[in-house]
Chains A and B, each alone.
Chain A
């Protein structure tokens, strides 16, 4: 929503979200899956990465920080973690 005194805006479409179910992906691993799909999809795409690898909680934020993409949310679930990631540049 915009304020009543702000300029009119055109509603923008929500970002495309792709689910990447990498649970049980021990080889090559969830982060490798994320790196792969980020290369393939356009800027602005959101990825919902599911990982059962405990190391992902450390690795994925480190890699995203170095690569310059955004970790929108990290949400623990039952037996796995759900990472919401946004691709911010080519």
Chain B
């Protein structure tokens, strides 16, 4: 009887790991010994790092979405459906509507979900760029902006792409200069801890850049509520900042079905072995990307590197071997520091990042990656 490997989620992690598992088990899949299926709610794949590019007219909306079926190898079954629950003792998934999908090995790549409603006033009072619709709204708002106070604020943790608040701040600064209204605009940056980023090797150079560009810093600032009528944002520390345009990062949580399945912590993140990427206490469930509780970047790069390990471990288990491949915490993320310059952070569990001086070359590498993502990462052709 064929072994059935099921992947939940058609984002960066789910799509690339499905295609990589297919390659790693090419013979078994071709002879029918292994069957592969991917479950996705919409069947549309979004390149989420592109949303910020859409805000600043660096990518068009249609460039950040593709049909999932066009990205998956033809031997991978695409099931469109919304997961209600994983019944892990019975090795099956229940979809809304009642369909059941059985598995022998499960890969959870269900990502994170934004919850702006958790902050009072967020939906009415703040712009964000964490989905395509809101990214387009923010782009429109910027086109109509003629000067005033802009506040960039992290309103909840954890959040996807930890460097994104830095990036949107630097891009704003550069954009306003090109529009000739930087001198009519104050940019305020808030962050929940007493510096502009989590560790010194990144925070110090980023803070220097902000100071050079006249960006005002408010730390620590943990968002309490937003007053859309009065156009203010209040921190639990007591500070109140007025704004004309607010760009905020919404709180994130894991997928609801993770909680309903009894597999998650309080935020619906799945406790996961940080090396084997296996769900704690589950022999045949692997997890990658935002869905894990591992305390590193929730970012596409993380999912991409983790996919290497999950692929090897799924292939080993499918062949009746012990999974031994280890994820060592590798991540590589660009940080856009302007409309045509960038730096990057590269690190693993043992080695912290040291971002180089921002340059056009690093920016150009990011642009190339944006264009080659669909083949390089999603289809895993190389």
Contacts and interface: CB of A to CB of B under 8 A. Distances in A.
Contacts of B162: 27-28, 32
Contacts of A36: 157-158, 267
A29 B220 CA distance: 15
Interface string A28-63: 111111011001110000000000011100010011
A33 B298 CA distance: 12
B193 A59 contact: yes
Contact of B349 (A23, A28, A30, A62): A23
Given A25-B295, A63-B193, A53 B352 contact: yes
Given A27-B331, A40-B267, A35 B199 contact: no
B194 A28 contact: no
B222 interface: yes
Contacts of A35: 157, 192-193, 222
A29 B202 CA distance: 10
B110 interface: no
A85 interface: no
B350 interface: yes
A27 B202 CA distance: 9
A27 B199 contact: yes
A26 B347 contact: yes
A26 B353 contact: yes
Nearest to B202: A27
Contact of A22 (B222, B295, B348, B353): B295
Interface in B192-231: 192-195, 197-202, 220, 222
Given A24-B329, A26-B296, A63 B202 contact: no
B81 to A, nearest CB: 30
Contacts of A63: 193-194, 220
A32 B110 CA distance: 23
Interface of A: 20-33, 35-36, 39-41, 53-55, 59, 62-63, 66-67
Q: Which 4 A-B pairs have the closest CB atoms?
A: A29-B198, A24-B349, A28-B162, A25-B295
28 contacts: A20-B295, A22-B295, A24-B329, A24-B350, A26-B199, A26-B201, A27-B162, A27-B198, A27-B296, A27-B331, A27-B353, A29-B198, A30-B198, A31-B193, A31-B198, A32-B157, A32-B162, A35-B157, A35-B222, A36-B157, A40-B267, A53-B352, A54-B200, A55-B200, A59-B193, A62-B194, A63-B193, A63-B194
